[in-house]
Amino acid sequence: MNIVIIGAGEVGQHLAGVLSREEHSVTVVDPDPSKSRKLTESLDVQSLVGDGTRADTLTDAGASAADLVIAVSDDDRVNMLTSVIAKKLGASRVIIRLKDTRVLADYRYFYKDALGFDVVLSTEELVAEELLGLVRERHALEVQSFANGQVQLRRLRLKEDSELTSRPLGELKIPAGVLVTAVSRGGQLTVPSGSDELHGKDQIYVLGSSTDLDQFERLAGEKVEWKRSVVVMGAGGIGREIALRLSGEPGISVLVLEQDPARARALDLERSGDLTVMVGDATDMMLFREERLADASVFVATTHDDEDNIVACQLAKSFGVKRTVALVEKSSYAEIFDLLEGVDQAISPRMMCAKAITRLARAGSPRAIAAIGSGQAEVIELEVGLKEPIKLKKLGLPRGVVLGALVRDNAVTIPGGETVVRKGDTAVVFAMRESLEEAERALGAL
């Protein structure tokens, strides 16, 4: 593929390295001459010093004939404007990274149409989703979110004594809002039918709302903890996203410690659910004692200072907090953090984003928003182009395809056989790679 990357920061450099080693033709655009020089000296890539929001620069970089343009600069506005221009020039597919997706709230599909991007990834949302799983001790091996976070795809490993292995899939009492989209057995991924049976140690991919999926996990024999308490250090972009997402979950209480009073007040105005915001320093031992922070189930350090994060986690662990998580701005620190007894898990938001983009770059469909099972299947998002409304059961979707969710007027539905599919609906579709084109044709998207 011909790939153009806008931004030679940590994410851009990582992507350039991975994609060039896979023998793609990669061009990186960045206004910093030293970064461009470093890339050409260390990697087999083309580099161009320039502004990624200028049509002439993107043309020189080959965006007009690019199979994929990836905008991952540290400026959200640059990435959004790059998307508009790259698509107008003729780029087949555009992926953009946003640090703050609040601008998209309730208007994601409007912005997708207006800006032309195919996929938007948010470091804040990726980290929040990862931490949500950690805090809730979710047993999923993998969690991916779609449709503004209203739909999740979880990968679970079945226990030998699970109720789900007792009879054919069509006879199981699965929550109405959950679909078993695929089964991985012996490394082979298949889309099951109602007559198929699940086996112990199978890995299954289930799609639905988070509440329904929690119910499904209990059916699968997993214990889902009810009461959890979390302390979040820092109310910046990632800290804010984590706090708001976690506090909206049943049974989770969140306390945010922020040293900046203005930032603390701003988050306090947004708060919902069981969320408390306090002005304070999480490295203050007196505060730990007075506020009984040691009783927390999880302590998460989210500031932009790696050293402060590690000190806070060490302190929390010494007071008896069960689990500590530190965000790492410098990805090279992640391995060091993992060696420290006070940090149970180190997460690099930039590397999480880079890995997500790498999976998408390997996908076979330009509509892909997630790659599943080492690329054996994909989740695609497309606009339905059917001439007449039709019930899902009469749509004639090919084997290997599951229509997982429908978005209409920003409302999300997990469809059943009687659900009517209409032109203009946004469909989230799980499909085996060999069935992608047939799925798109069945939904009138080709």
Q: Which residue has the higher pLDDT, 137 or 351?
A: 351
Q: Is 375 within a domain? A: yes
212 & 147 share domain: yes
CATH number at residue 142: 3.30.70.1450
310 & 200 share domain: no
Which of the residue ranges 153-162, 254-263, 280-289 has the most confident prediction, judged by mean pLDDT? 254-263
pLDDT at 10 over 80: yes
Q: Is 242 within a domain? A: yes
Over residues 292-296, mean pLDDT: 86
Predicted local confidence at residue 96, as pLDDT: 96
pLDDT at 95 over 60: yes
pLDDT at 103 over 60: yes
Q: Is 287 within a domain? A: yes
Assess contact for 394 and 134: CB atoms under 8 A.
no
Two tokens, residue 316 = 């929390």
pLDDT at 186 over 90: no
CATH number at residue 111: 3.40.50.720
CA distance 203 to 156: 5
Over residues 62-84, mean pLDDT: 96
90 & 157 share domain: no
Predicted local confidence at residue 62, as pLDDT: 97
Predicted local confidence at residue 247, as pLDDT: 87
CA distance 286 to 289: 5
Phi, psi of 162 (to 5 degrees): -65, 145
215 & 245 share domain: no
Q: What angle do CA 375, 410, 217 make, to 5 degrees?
A: 55
Q: Is 128 within a domain? A: no
The 10s digit of each residue's pLDDT in 225-247 is 557 889 999 998 889 988 988 88
Q: Is 203 within a domain? A: yes
Assess contact for 233 and 309: CB atoms under 8 A.
yes
Over residues 54-71, mean pLDDT: 96
284 & 376 share domain: no
Two tokens, residue 35 = 């970064």
Q: Is 359 within a domain? A: no
30 & 104 share domain: yes
| Number of structural domains the chain divides into | 4
41 & 110 share domain: yes
Predicted local confidence at residue 35, as pLDDT: 93
Range(s) of the domain holding residue 152: 138-219
Handedness of CA 168, 173, 174, 176 (dihedral sign): positive
pTM of the model: 0.71
Q: Is 289 within a domain? A: yes
Contacts 24+ apart (CB under 8 A), 55-62: 55/85, 55/88, 55/89, 57/29, 58/4, 58/29, 58/82, 58/85, 58/86, 58/89, 59/89, 61/4, 61/27, 61/29, 62/2, 62/4, 62/27
Over residues 118-138, mean pLDDT: 78
CA distance 157 to 175: 18
Phi, psi of 8 (to 5 degrees): -110, 35
Two tokens, residue 388 = 């007449």
349 & 397 share domain: no
Phi, psi of 406 (to 5 degrees): -125, 135
Average pLDDT over the chain, rounded to whole?
Answer: 87
Taking alpha carbons only, the member of 92, 99, 142 closest to residue 117 is 92
In the listed set 308, 334, 353, which residue is the last one of a domain according to the structure? Answer: 353
256 & 238 share domain: yes
203 & 241 share domain: no
Predicted local confidence at residue 130, as pLDDT: 79
Assess contact for 421 and 406: CB atoms under 8 A.
yes
The 10s digit of each residue's pLDDT in 425-440 is 989 999 998 898 899 9
Predicted local confidence at residue 422, as pLDDT: 94
387 & 307 share domain: no
In the listed set 188, 219, 250, which residue is the last one of a domain according to the structure? Answer: 219
Predicted local confidence at residue 137, as pLDDT: 56
In the listed set 331, 353, 375, which residue is the last one of a domain according to the structure? Answer: 353
Q: Is 131 within a domain? A: no
